[in-house]
Every structure is written in structure tokens, then in C-alpha cells.
Chain A
């Protein structure tokens, strides 16, 4: 199939014969003549015919790694864009076509640096220089040792930093200097006093209770234990109270009864409906309410007059009573006095109490967030844990938690439940295709159909 078939041509005429290809015959004859002149291969020795080639002419193509292959491939134009290449041999009929010329990728920076022509080149060069300076400085990596090796608390004037503001003659007032610094872009910002306002009067460092010692005296340890017990009892009491007020308020029911009740409740309307319908059916579709209709009753003139009279009479009686009481009070001035004094005293006590509460509040932790601060448990070693020597100390409590709670107590951090909760990223999970069960694809169906046709 691949070989080209020779065209059969008729050899009827002389001219047709002339056209026949005799090249192969002539070639063969020529070969024979050549052999006669030079000699055949068979006669010659191997040495004359062959030579040993010691050095390879061409280097073997190196085996490329995957990475190199990828890099080479990356240099090639994209396969997807191959269709855009013009493969036609036909020349463009329009000689002077307006083609979109591709820009050169990026500027030639070397050229710009070597002989800058435009002002922006000069600017760019200057910027670049500055950039590399900072880069070099940063790459040197400032040591932490030298970072803090200076005296921050040394007295310094803001006027020293900006040249021209420092004057010995006192011509530039402080206000003017402040104004200048603001407009130069290095404003001096005053720290307002309220930022350092202490929000709680509680001490920063609370001395540890003596019972916290690794080898405490009996009294101290007992005192601490007592405190712990008291606090625990308070918590238990609170819990019991809540339990009594909430869970114990509800009547208890066995599960069977609950189920039956539920069933009843759910089907409560079902049975009545049929009855209701029956009732409705008996009467006409007339609208009726449960309450009787309201009638507008008019008061008679006589009754109105009598009412007014009654009211006046009552008023008069009340006045009389008040007068009588006043006269009676004259006789009991002494007891009134005591009453007033008692009232005043009660008020005073209330005032005192309020003041006390207010003062107490000053030492307490403020409510900063949604949750209230709760004091952490007191750390204490149980009597059996106290070893009495330093080797067997049982360290209680974590210092980190202790500090964290302390910050919360001192209103530095708001309390939150989800302390340090990390948001987990939402990941959509699915099995890899290699682990999938072989599903049914369209191709498989088609193949099956084909197989069915053949049989």
C-alpha cells in the first residue's frame, strides 16, 4: 500500500518507447562498470573497508529528569494555542497588512540604568538605590542584643529631632514648635490621662496566703483549707438552690404516661371535630357569640344627682377626718418625733450600706464582656500531698492560667468562653477517584451495547 504504483504506459508507438524509464538499467550497468574498474567488495579486505572508530562523533542525548522536561515544555508555546499558528503556505495577498506588533516584555532596566534618558529613569534609579540600601540594612539582621541596648528614659526634647527648631535664643516658642512638627509630618501626640486610669482599686500583687507554703504551719494550712471549703459550700448551696427552683418545680411523670399524654394531646381535636360538625349540621349557619350582646343603659337624672351628692358627702367626711387627726396628732408629738428619728436612722443606715457597696464595687472586677468574671479555684495541697521537703513538692496550679486569670481580674482582658478557640477551616471532603467504586459510565454502556450487537 505504501509503495507507489508505477503507471502503466502503453508502448504502442516509438515515441512511447522513448518515454520509458531506463534509468534503473543504466544504473545497474554503470555499477558493473565501476566494479570492473575498482574492484568488488568481496575481494577487498576488512581493513580496507572498515576502520575502528574510537571516539564517538556525537554526544548521547542526556536523559532528562522530570523537572527538566517540564522546564523545557514550559518554554514551548502552549498546545492549546497551536491552532492559532498560521500553517498555510499561501502568501498573504495584502502585503502591507496592519499587524498588531507585540510589545517587548518589560523595560530593559540595564539600558535605563546605563544611560538614563527620561526624567522617570532618573527617578527610578534614585528610588532603586534607596531600596537596595534599606534591603542591605535589613539583610544584616539587627541583633536583639543591640536592639534594646539604649536608654529610652533619657531626657530628650522633641525639638532636637527636627533641624532648625532647636534655638538657644528662645525665639521659637513651644507652641510654634509643636505647630511645625505637626505640619512637618512628625506630630507630637499627647497621651491623655484617662488611658492610664486604673479601673480597679485591687492590688496588682496579692500576697500569697501563708497556707500556700510547701511546708505550711498547721494553722495557716487549716485556715486556707477552711477558705476552700467555705467557697465550695457556697457553690454547692447555689447549685442546690437552682435545682430546687427549676428542675424540682416540675412534676415528674413516667415515660409511659408521658407517651400516652402526648398521644392524647396530638389527637385532641380529632374526636371533637366530628361532634362539632354534627352540631353545626343541626343548626343554621347563623353567627353567634358566647357573651350576650351589650346594651347601652342610660342613667337617669335622679341617679346622677344622687351620685354627685354621695361624692360631696364623702369629701366632706374625709376633710373632717383629717382635721380630727390633726388635732389628735397635737397630743402625740412625742411619738411622731421618735418615728421621724427612726426613719432618719433607717435612711442613714441605707446610705451607709450603699456607700459600702459602692466601695466594694471599686475593688471588684468590672463586667467587660458578655460573661462575668469568676474567681478561679484556690490552689491548695491536700494534707496527704504535703511531703515536707523540697524534693517531693507537688506543684499545684499552672502559672500561665494563673496569669491569664489575673489579667482578666484586673480588667485587662475581657472574659470569654471560647478562649483561644481556633476556627477550623471548612474542608469539603470526598474520596479520591482512585478509591472510588467503579461506577457506570456512558462509555461502558456504549461498549456493552456494541458487544450485544455483535452477538
Chain B
């Protein structure tokens, strides 16, 4: 065997510099960059740089040698090389002015096929959804771009189409969970197949010219090139799993991608929003709602431990959210950014319209008396209707985040708005929650109760759900459930009795009733007292059981979790104590 020399094994053999990679792949730097971005191969940092760079200590861009070897097998490398040949040939034709040949060559432009790479990078559909954040943010951004030197016009058209398709799916599947208006743009968080997908929709007119030193447009364009293909496949799969036809049929104007439609930016935007106001064509009947109900029932059967309680609460919140704006009719004034509002209202079952003279796609007029809410973003309005609430746009966003219809009085026309809080801060976190925050939550609960009572249109079931919200204490919840079960049983028995009653003549009935009244008695109620010791003992036993059930390879993780919990509890206790002390001091003063 040949004797290995220095730097022929170990870390030096594991890494390869970019220059060496270029030589090995026989590609230009631009082509290599494109290949790497499309294939998802990124530079690495070695553990020991001098060793990896064969003795040189300047910082070079390094890749895993294995990655580069993997790239060597890629069929699109050949296409990238073909581009070079293509450029040479067409260049010659152009110089000689052989336009006939040039036309033929241009028709035969070697196309970069990256379908198989999507599958390779995301082996399962869920993987693709997990990585959708960047994709969506970039595509939403690019869909608003004018045609630029380094960004082909078709690319931004494609982005527009794909994002509209995606939004349609989001609307019809009612999967939006959180929204946040930031100074960067509108944050949306949706729940797709159990994965949380977050993207940022820019405020209107997001395009600003950038200096070349800030952003490399070419690189971003390559990312978008890959993401368009990926989102195309994701859309197809989403549409098919939900039973919609793909590609979706919209208004005729937007669907054909003719260039004339995009001449005017303003008309394009209004067209885009108009399409959002139309329903998708369904191929199958929806079954989703039923499935969710079954799930809930299953949960109810199981014992009501803490976690299941939490899950149940979440599920109830969700069902509430899905029909949040059902039966409400909105009218959006001209000055309000319509796109995010239309998405939200439509995805939670509301109806929406706008000024029919200014924008296309309006479904009803401002003078419609059945409109329940009008969204206004100006200090005063000359003509008002009594039958509707005039609210500011933040109401819609806050309602979605709180999962209930908030009272409109603090969002009225010209009123100073309450702060728009971020939904990404977990309010149910285990750590210490200051009493102020707790109060605001309770307050909102109370308010919504009042609101519901005032609004007679609500069904009793909704009331129940909301009532259940107020009960944070699981003890209370337990008691409530028991009570309800009793009540149902009682109901059933009574029904049966009633059925029996029908057969018995009325005289006997009266007799029975008389007997019942005689035997009726009231017993003194007992306060349910719990033995704290027993409870604590039970808890410890349960914990021990859990610890025993944990597999040996997960033991460290389990210990870590337990320790974390302990630390958190201790922190909470400390802060509480601190607060108590401070308040005591205040009182004494």
C-alpha cells in the first residue's frame, strides 16, 4: 500500500476549498453558487482550520469533500455546462446576424430541471412544510417586485401566482393561528399538517432600491428559483389533500398570465385581492369538521389529567376560532390595507366587501343594511349607519389572536387603540406572570362574556365553550365535568321517565308526584375537602412511575426536564416572594 503523506488523511482530506471544488466540478463560480444553493450544500467551518487547509492559516471558504463528491453525480451539472456552450453558440449567431439559427437555438434553451432535487432535499412532505418559512417570506416579497435587471420578469409573475394559490388554501382550510402587525410587515402563523409555518407579508410598496453592498440580488434570485418550484409542489399536494382542483380557477383576468395584466401595479393588486374573495372549486365533500369532533369525543372519554385538559382547552379554542367571524358582514374602507384583512375575515367565515367604484371584486355596497362591521382607519367619518359598528383594523387582528370576538368599544372610530401585543409571546408559559398581565387576561374573559350575553345571536354551545375558558383551575374544571355528566345522566333518566309517563294515566301521575313531594328532602351540603397529604403522595407516586417508565437512553433528557421544571418553579416562587415583600413594605409605608 502507498504510504500516506501529510495532509492526505484526517481533517485535511475531509474538507475541500472552494477553488478546488470549482476545478473538480469544472464549473464557473456563478454556476457553482447556483448549484450549491439549489442542492442545499453550504460551506462548513472545520474544527481545526489550519489542519483542514493543509497548513495554511488564512481563512478560506471550505466545503465537505463528501458534499462535493455528491454534487459530482448531479445531472444538472451537465445542464450548467450546457449553458456555457449555449452562450457561445448564440453569441456567434448574434455576431454573424444569423437570426434564423439564433431563433432555433433560443427555442432549445437547456432547461434546468430541479424537480428531483425537491424530493431529494425534502424526503417527506412534512419536511417541506417545515422549511416553508423562508420560502413564503421570500416569495411574498418577490411577488411585489418590479422587473429588475437581475430578476427575470417571469419569476415575479410566478411568485404572484404561487402566493395567491397558497393564500387560497390557507383561507379555505382556516389554518391561520396568529397574526402580528409589526413595523417590518404582517406576520402570519398558520398550522399546516401540524407544523407551524410563519411568514411575513410586507407592507404595501415594499420595494426599495438596494445598494449592491447590502444584498446580492443574484443569489436571492437563485433561492427564489428553487423556492418557486418547491411551493408549486407543496401547493399541488395541499390542494389535492384538501380535495380542491389544481390549478385553481379564479377570475378570468388574473388567471391568464398575459403581460398586459401586470402593466399597472395598482390594478394588479386590486385584482389579486378580488380573487381572494372568491371560493375555491371543491372536488370532494369536506370531512374535516367531523374528524375533529370525533377527536374531541375521544379526549373526553380519557381521564382528565392536566395535559389532556390543556389539549381539550386548545381544541375548543380552535373550534371557536374557525367560526370566529361566521355570520358577520364586513365593509372595508378605502384607506385600510385590504389584503391581510380580507385573508383574515375570509378564513374565519366572514363576508367582506369594499368600495365598488375604487376597486374590482366588491360583492355588496356600503349602503347594505346587513353589514355588521365597517373597518375604518381615519379619525372622522361624515356618513354613518346606526346598524353597524365602526371599528379600526386592529380589532380583526386582536380578535384572531385572542380567539374570541373582543368588545368593539375600545376599537371605535377615532378612539385611542389599546396596544397591539405580540401573539408569539406565550401567555401560558410556566414562568412567573406578573399580576398585571393576569388581570388583563381575566378582564378580556369577563368582557367577552358580557359581549356574548348582549349578543343574542350566539348559540348556547358557544356560551358553554367561553364559560369553560374562564376556568383556569383544573380542579374547578374537573368538578364542572362531573357535574355536567351528572346533569346529562339526570336528563336521560328524566327523558326515560317521561316516556314511561306517557303510558300511565294522569291520575296515577298525580299520585306519584304527590309521593315524590313527600319523600323530598334537603340535606346539608358538605364542602369538598381534599387531603393535601394524600394528594402530594399521589403526585410523588405518579412521578416515580413516570421515572420508571422512561427508557434508559432518555434518562438524561428526563432528568434535564425535571430539573428545568424545578428551576422554573423556584424562580416563580422567588419572584412571588419578592413581590409580596415589596407590597408589604408599601402597605406599611
Which residues of A are in contact with B by a Cβ distance under 8 Å? 134-135, 138-139, 144-145, 147-153, 187, 189, 191-192, 194-196, 199, 204-205, 207-210, 212-218, 220, 366-370, 379-381, 388-391, 393-404, 406-407, 411-414, 417-422
In the bound complex, do residue B236 and residue A389 qualify as a contact, i.e. CB atoms below 8 Å apart? no
In the bound complex, do residue B422 and residue A152 qualify as a contact, i.e. CB atoms below 8 Å apart? no
Q: Which of B329-373 contact A (CB under 8 A)?
A: 335-337
Q: Which of B240-271 contact A (CB under 8 A)?
A: 240, 246-247, 257
In the bound complex, do residue B183 and residue A366 qualify as a contact, i.e. CB atoms below 8 Å apart? no
Of all A-B residue pairs in the complex, the 5 with the closest CB atoms, nearest first, are: A148-B232, A420-B216, A217-B419, A207-B424, A210-B422
- Given A396-B184, A404-B220, verify A210-B119 contact (CB < 8 Å): no
In the bound complex, do residue B141 and residue A403 qualify as a contact, i.e. CB atoms below 8 Å apart? yes
In the bound complex, do residue A208 and residue B70 qualify as a contact, i.e. CB atoms below 8 Å apart? no
In the bound complex, do residue B180 and residue A213 qualify as a contact, i.e. CB atoms below 8 Å apart? yes
Q: Of A204, A391, A421, which contacts B378 at CB under 8 A?
A: A391
Say yes or no: is B584 at the interface (Cβ < 8 Å to chain A). no
What CA separation (Å) do A401 and B128 show in the bound complex?
A: 24
In the bound complex, do residue A191 and residue B70 qualify as a contact, i.e. CB atoms below 8 Å apart? yes
Q: Of A205, A209, A390, which contacts B377 at CB under 8 A?
A: A390
Say yes or no: is B445 at the interface (Cβ < 8 Å to chain A). no
What CA separation (Å) do A149 and B180 show in the bound complex?
A: 33
CB distance from B449 to the nearest CB of A (A): 24
Q: Considering residues A139, A145, A220, A397, which has the most beta carbons from chain B within 10 angstroms of its beta carbon?
A: A145
Chain A residues contacting B154 (CB-CB under 8 Å) are 144
CB distance from A129 to the nearest CB of B (A): 16
What CA separation (Å) do A434 and B465 show in the bound complex?
A: 89
Between-chain CB contacts (< 8 Å), 25 pairs:
A135-B107, A153-B233, A204-B134, A208-B182, A208-B187, A208-B422, A212-B422, A214-B420, A218-B419, A220-B419, A367-B59, A369-B43, A380-B183, A395-B184, A396-B183, A398-B214, A400-B141, A400-B215, A402-B184, A403-B141, A404-B214, A404-B219, A419-B213, A420-B213, A420-B215
Chain B residues contacting A406 (CB-CB under 8 Å) are 134
What CA separation (Å) do A391 and B338 show in the bound complex?
A: 12
Chain B residues contacting A213 (CB-CB under 8 Å) are 180-183, 419-422
Which residue of A is nearest B137, CB measured? A403
What CA separation (Å) do A199 and B63 show in the bound complex?
A: 13
In the bound complex, do residue A414 and residue B61 qualify as a contact, i.e. CB atoms below 8 Å apart? yes
CB distance from B25 to the nearest CB of A (A): 15
What CA separation (Å) do A379 and B200 show in the bound complex?
A: 15
Chain A residues contacting B64 (CB-CB under 8 Å) are 194-195
- Given A152-B233, A391-B377, A420-B217, verify A192-B66 contact (CB < 8 Å): yes
Chain A residues contacting B187 (CB-CB under 8 Å) are 208
In the bound complex, do residue A149 and residue B236 qualify as a contact, i.e. CB atoms below 8 Å apart? yes
What CA separation (Å) do A412 and B45 show in the bound complex?
A: 12
Say yes or no: is B235 at the interface (Cβ < 8 Å to chain A). yes
In the bound complex, do residue B212 and residue A215 qualify as a contact, i.e. CB atoms below 8 Å apart? no
In the bound complex, do residue A215 and residue B419 qualify as a contact, i.e. CB atoms below 8 Å apart? yes
Which residues of B are in contact with A by a Cβ distance under 8 Å? 40-45, 58-62, 64, 66-67, 70, 73, 104, 107-108, 115-116, 118-120, 122, 124-125, 128, 131, 133-134, 137-138, 141, 154, 158, 161, 180-185, 187, 198, 200, 202-203, 206, 208, 210, 212-220, 223, 229, 232-233, 235-237, 240, 246-247, 257, 335-337, 377-378, 392-394, 416-417, 419-422, 424-425
In the bound complex, do residue B70 and residue A192 qualify as a contact, i.e. CB atoms below 8 Å apart? yes
CB distance from B261 to the nearest CB of A (A): 15
What CA separation (Å) do A217 and B437 show in the bound complex?
A: 12
What CA separation (Å) do A14 and B207 show in the bound complex?
A: 114
Chain B residues contacting A417 (CB-CB under 8 Å) are 213
Chain A residues contacting B419 (CB-CB under 8 Å) are 213, 215-218, 220
CB distance from A153 to the nearest CB of B (A): 5
In the bound complex, do residue A397 and residue B203 qualify as a contact, i.e. CB atoms below 8 Å apart? no
In the bound complex, do residue B246 and residue A421 qualify as a contact, i.e. CB atoms below 8 Å apart? no
- Given A191-B120, A220-B422, A390-B181, verify A401-B214 contact (CB < 8 Å): yes
CB distance from B283 to the nearest CB of A (A): 14
CB distance from A188 to the nearest CB of B (A): 10
Which residue of A is nearest B58, CB measured? A370
CB distance from A357 to the nearest CB of B (A): 15
What CA separation (Å) do A205 and B122 show in the bound complex?
A: 18
In the bound complex, do residue B118 and residue A152 qualify as a contact, i.e. CB atoms below 8 Å apart? yes
Q: Of B41, B59, B203, which contacts A195 at CB under 8 A?
A: B41
Chain A residues contacting B223 (CB-CB under 8 Å) are 407
What CA separation (Å) do A402 and B59 show in the bound complex?
A: 26
Which residue of B is nearest A376, CB measured? B214
In the bound complex, do residue A419 and residue B212 qualify as a contact, i.e. CB atoms below 8 Å apart? yes
Q: Considering residues A135, A151, A152, A417, which has the most beta carbons from chain B within 10 angstroms of its beta carbon?
A: A152
CB distance from A205 to the nearest CB of B (A): 5
CB distance from B14 to the nearest CB of A (A): 10
Chain A residues contacting B181 (CB-CB under 8 Å) are 213-215, 390, 393
**What would 20 more interface pairs be, CB under 8 Å, given A189-B70, A367-B45, A419-B214?**
A147-B229, A148-B236, A150-B115, A151-B240, A152-B233, A153-B237, A195-B40, A195-B64, A207-B425, A208-B180, A212-B184, A215-B394, A216-B419, A217-B419, A368-B61, A369-B59, A391-B377, A397-B184, A412-B42, A420-B216
What CA separation (Å) do A366 and B43 show in the bound complex?
A: 10
In the bound complex, do residue B394 and residue A390 qualify as a contact, i.e. CB atoms below 8 Å apart? yes
What CA separation (Å) do A151 and B183 show in the bound complex?
A: 38
Q: Of A216, A388, A390, which contacts B393 at CB under 8 A?
A: A390
Chain A residues contacting B124 (CB-CB under 8 Å) are 153
Chain B residues contacting A189 (CB-CB under 8 Å) are 70, 73
Chain A residues contacting B119 (CB-CB under 8 Å) are 152-153
In the bound complex, do residue B141 and residue A399 qualify as a contact, i.e. CB atoms below 8 Å apart? yes
What CA separation (Å) do A242 and B236 show in the bound complex?
A: 57
In the bound complex, do residue B67 and residue A149 qualify as a contact, i.e. CB atoms below 8 Å apart? no
- Given A139-B107, A389-B377, A393-B203, verify A212-B182 contact (CB < 8 Å): yes
- Given A379-B183, A399-B200, verify A153-B61 contact (CB < 8 Å): no
What CA separation (Å) do A144 and B200 show in the bound complex?
A: 25
What CA separation (Å) do A130 and B229 show in the bound complex?
A: 29
